[in-house]
Amino acid sequence: MEKSSGGPKKSVIAIFVFPVLAILSACQSGPPKISIQGARAQLSPAIYGEAMVTMTINNQGGADVLNGVSVDIPGARAMLHVMKDKVMTEAGSVRIPGGKQRVFQMGGSHIMIEGMPRSMAAGSAFTITLRFEKSGEKKLHLTLEKAPSAPMAMPMS
Ligand SMILES: [Cu+2]
């Protein structure tokens, strides 16, 4: 009974391992493979009509660039923010390295929405569109959350 398990198993492993290695090595130079996790939008604790969108962009493929964002709330504008000398600054684009995670969070790169009308409150739904250079558009369907309870709390980097 036991002798049938040796040979065939080895060849199955060999056939399986080679394609996996080929995929891993091609990963960081091939097309980007982007997925977005944990996206949420919180109202600003300080400024009326503003909200911050945070998320993790997972890229299991080659490098990409996030070239812009837009929001479907009438009158509102979405923009990319990065931190420069501890001040939020609008950025035209944000690089998304290949084979890595890029975290968008308070105190780092994030998306800012400003000029939201009074009708937008905690619980309101809206859609953000991310525009990637290579991956095209990705839509995020979000629900506004109330402002975080500790205003101006910035993680130090
Ligand atoms: Cu900001």
Distance in Å, CA 69 to ligand 1 centroid:
13
Q: What percent of the chain has pLDDT over 90?
A: 71
Task: Give residue 8 CA to ligand 1 midpoint distance, Å.
Answer: 58
Residue 126: inside a domain: yes
* In a domain? residue 110: yes
Neighbours of ion ligand 1 (CB under 5 A): 81, 88, 112
Q: Sign (positive/negative) of CA torsion 4, 10, 13, 18?
A: negative
Cβ proximity of 32 and 61 under 8 Å: yes
Q: How far is the CA of 108 from the centre of ligand 1 (A)?
A: 9
Is residue 131 situated within a structural domain? yes
Query: Which of the pair, 14 or 138, is modelled with greater confidence?
Result: 138
Give the mean pLDDT of the chain.
86
Q: Is 120 exposed, middle or buried (0-12, 13-18, 19+ CB in 10 A)?
A: buried
- Residue 6 inside a domain? The answer is no
Q: From ligand 1's centre to the CA of 84, what distance in Å?
A: 11
Q: How far apart are CA 95 and CA 149, in angstroms?
A: 31
How many domains is the chain built from? 1
pLDDT digits (tens, 9 = 90+) for 37-58: 999 999 998 899 999 999 999 9
Question: What's the one-letter identity of residue 60?
Answer: Q
Q: According to the model, what pLDDT value does residue 16 have?
A: 59
CATH number for the domain that contains residue 103: 2.60.40.1890
Residue 53 lies in a domain: yes
pLDDT at 17 over 60: no
DSSP-based three-state secondary structure for 32: coil
| pLDDT band with cut points at 50, 70 and 90 for residue 149 | confident
CA of 34 to the centre of ligand 1 (A): 23
> How remote is the CA of residue 112 from the centroid of ligand 1, in Å?
5
The token pair that represents 102 in the structure block: 């890029």
pTM of the model: 0.77
Q: 13 CA to middle of ligand 1, Å?
A: 50
What are the pLDDT digits (tens) for 73-83? 999 999 999 99
Greater confidence (6 vs 140) lies with 140
Taking CA 89 as the corner, what is the angle to CA 94 and CA 117, rounded to the nearest 5 degrees? 100
Residue 21 lies in a domain: no
Distance 31 CA to ligand 1 centre (A): 29
Residues whose CB falls within 8 Å of the CB of residue 79, separated by 6 or more in sequence, listed in order: 69, 90, 111, 112, 114
Percent over 70 (pLDDT), the chain: 77
Alpha carbon of 47 to ligand 1 centroid (Å): 11
Tell me how far the alpha carbon of residue 80 lies from the centroid of ligand 1, in angstroms: 8
Residue 83 belongs to some domain of the structure: yes
**Contact at 8 Å (CB) between 41 and 142?**
yes
pLDDT, average across residues 113-130: 97
The confidence score (pLDDT) of residue 37 equals: 97
What residues make up the domain containing 88? Answer: 34-145
CA distance 126 to 140: 8
Given this model, what pLDDT does residue 148 score?
85
Residue 85 lies in a domain: yes
